[in-house]
Chains A and B, each alone.
Chain A
Amino acid sequence: MLGSGILKGLGVTAKNFVGSYHDPARMVTQEYPDTPAKLPEAYRNFPFLVTENATDPMGTLRCVACQICEKECPPQCIYIEKSKDKKPDAAGKPQLYPAVFAIDTAVCMSCQLCVEVCPFDAIKMDHVFEVAATNRFEGLLLNREQLAKPNEYFHQIRPAEAAEVDGRLTAERKAAEEKARAAAAAKAAAPAKPAAPAATPAPKPAEGGAAP
């Protein structure tokens, strides 16, 4: 019968319309600004810099200004200037630090390559997305102070990944300390030998490996 196809189709829409009043499976709309958006842990948008100590954010940046992320960034939105002096990092070892670290979030495409290539777990992806600004330069060009966020914040947005990173870092630091102690003991035992090279924090074991 001509028109039966249309009537069948209208039946489907009517079923969905009535169902949307009582069947939660058919109510798919999120009332976003009223109820906050639920983000999965893996969600990524714009990088931030991890600091070890919330009270002294600039003194304890994990970043050592190695500039790998700056070189690998596809749209070239990271700008880093190395410091002239060295500051002790969280393990007490003197390290270079970024005198300038700027990310142009108007250019950044949140591809996460900076996070993947960083050997120091210093840069991670953020969960922010309500970042409208009225000024392109002050609002979107983020400097070192705006980018630095404490490790606690990282734990808050990505509990699983942060726990894994912390476990790895403490293990590395312990290994480095033991190595340094062993080197010092060896030096004390045989003072004629030249000093052992200082232990450096080992880079991530598998560079190509995926984050779990």
Chain B
Amino acid sequence: MSCSDQSGLDAEFSTFGRPGGPTVRAVHDDFHGDLLEVSMGPQHPSTHGVFRMVVTLDGEQIVKLKPVFGYLHRNHEKIAEGTSYLASMPYTDRLDYLCSMTTNWAYALAVEKLSGQAVPDRAQYLRIIMAELTRLVNHSCLVGFLFNDLGTSFTPLLYAFREREKILDLFEALSGSRMMCNYQRFGGCRVDPSPEWLAAASALVDNFPRFLDEYETMLTGNEIMLARTQGIGRLDAQRAINAGITGPVLRASGVDYDIRKVDGTGFYSRFDFRVPLGAHGDTYDRYMMRILEMRESVKILQQAFKALPGGPIMDPKAKLRGFRPKAGEAYGRLESPKGELGFYLISDGSPNPWRYRVRPPSLINLTLLEEMCLGHTIADSVVILGSIDIVLGEVDR
């Protein structure tokens, strides 16, 4: 790294790490020595996929962090512009591969907006059930991985995976695949769950708070965890709003913005649930946010199982093949477990979209990674990255 003269160093030091302040503290003297540049990833177990962080270190303190991604780019949007609307549906499973149900739903929502398709009541309820089960899957997975990043090798992760596995078994019994569900269709859902399936899912949801209690007894009060997460990776509300951060990361900073409440997507306005908010915007708040959201999801699910209406799951006018929406544009968005997931489509009346664009919450939440990490140690950057909750399938597309 380059060296600079010593004048102005103190001024730099006082604003260092703040928004708008310098990201690199130029230090070169006999005592501090040079800055060290470390390339973490793309093949690194803590970066949650093929993600690379180029970290500049002063001792163990991060003075600059450059996220590098695109290693998992699969040209999803361009492929979707070349195939029919239906053929893109299985590809959306592979965007956020932990939450294929919500990704399917967001895409179906955009196409339904584009074509003005109606969705029967039962399908709306089923979509909410699937989305909230997906939230349980994603958040339990996330808290497990977060503790893996903190260095507790595997026990919390496997406890979380034990619960996640039960939900994935349900998804498999319903849609045929554990993770690549491909369940939503334009105008409804693909498979109607049997009463046995609903009973099993309902029992699982009723038991879920027991797992959360156990998990919290095991970990939330853990002193090492508190020391490693409280005050680490602070993100203030102003910065978060300016950068377009959404989802639990935004709400951990204290901003009350949940698309389930704002838009009332689907039938969410019919459900009684609260949106948990954090106060500090640090890693600990982001962890607690996931736990509290799971408790709210359980509430939504219990109401949904009780109120699930009968009837068809598919709009009778829906077409599987030869789908040609009128020329126009539509943006469908959804509160996915990671934030605002949107699909933007422009149709020119042909069987394939003229423009297809995904607004991935993971990618946009990643933009402030450097700001959150500055001034912390390299071990903390791993935890901060884990608390943002990214999936590289969605970041790179």
Contacts and interface: CB of A to CB of B under 8 A. Distances in A.
Partners in one complex: yes
Interface in A37-59: 40-44
A68 B172 CA distance: 27
B5 interface: no
A6 B156 CA distance: 13
A25 B210 CA distance: 13
15 contacts: A9-B219, A12-B217, A40-B176, A44-B176, A44-B177, A72-B87, A111-B182, A112-B182, A207-B321, A208-B315, A208-B320, A210-B189, A210-B191, A210-B192, A211-B190
Interface stretch (B63-71, B220-228, B246-254, B297-305): B220-228
Q: How large is the interface on B (under 10, 10 to 19, 20 to 34, 35 or more residues)?
A: 35 or more
A185 interface: no
Secondary structure dominating the interface of A = loop
Interface in B157-179: 159, 162, 165, 169, 172-177
A125 B177 CA distance: 12
Nearest to A39: B172
B217 A111 contact: no
Interface string A10-51: 011100100000000000100000000000111110000000
Interface string B84-95: 101111110110
A135 interface: no
Interface of B: 83-84, 86-91, 93-94, 155, 159, 162, 165, 169, 172-177, 180, 182, 185, 187-192, 214, 217-226, 313-316, 318-321
A195 to B, nearest CB: 31
Contacts of A2: 223
A171 interface: no
A115 B321 CA distance: 13
B321 A42 contact: no
A190 interface: no
Contacts of A3: 223
Contact of B180 (A111, A113, A211): A111
A109 interface: yes
Nearest to A44: B176
Contacts of A211: 190-191
Interface in A185-212: 206-212
Contacts of B221: 4-5, 8-9
A210 B155 contact: no
Given A4-B221, A109-B94, A211-B190, 8 more contacts: A5-B220, A5-B221, A6-B224, A8-B217, A73-B87, A112-B176, A208-B316, A210-B189
A72 B315 CA distance: 21
Q: Which 9 A-B pairs have the closest CB atoms?
A: A5-B221, A111-B90, A44-B176, A40-B173, A74-B87, A208-B318, A12-B218, A9-B218, A42-B176
B223 A5 contact: yes
A9 B176 contact: no
B185 A208 contact: yes
A212 B192 contact: yes
A9 B314 contact: no
Nearest to B222: A5
A209 B88 CA distance: 19
A6 B88 CA distance: 48
Q: How large is the interface on A (under 10, 10 to 19, 20 to 34, 35 or more residues)?
A: 35 or more
B188 A28 contact: no
Contacts of A206: 314, 316
B152 to A, nearest CB: 9
Nearest to B169: A40
B176 A113 contact: no
A74 B83 contact: yes
A85 B315 CA distance: 40
A41 B321 CA distance: 26
B90 A109 contact: yes
A8 B220 CA distance: 10
A43 B321 CA distance: 24
B316 A68 contact: no
A9 B192 CA distance: 41
Given A210-B188, A210-B191, A42 B175 contact: yes
A204 B225 CA distance: 58
Nearest to A208: B318
A110 interface: yes
A117 B321 contact: yes
Contacts of B83: 74
B217 A9 contact: yes
A43 B318 CA distance: 25
A116 interface: yes
Given A13-B155, A117-B320, A208-B318, A72 B218 contact: no
A165 to B, nearest CB: 15
Nearest to B207: A25
A68 B313 CA distance: 25
A12 B314 CA distance: 45
B180 A109 contact: yes
Contacts of A208: 185, 187-188, 314-316, 318-320
A113 B316 contact: no
A210 B313 contact: yes
Given A74-B83, A207-B321, A209-B314, A42 B222 contact: no
Given A2-B223, A74-B91, A208-B314, A113 B86 contact: yes
A6 B321 CA distance: 58
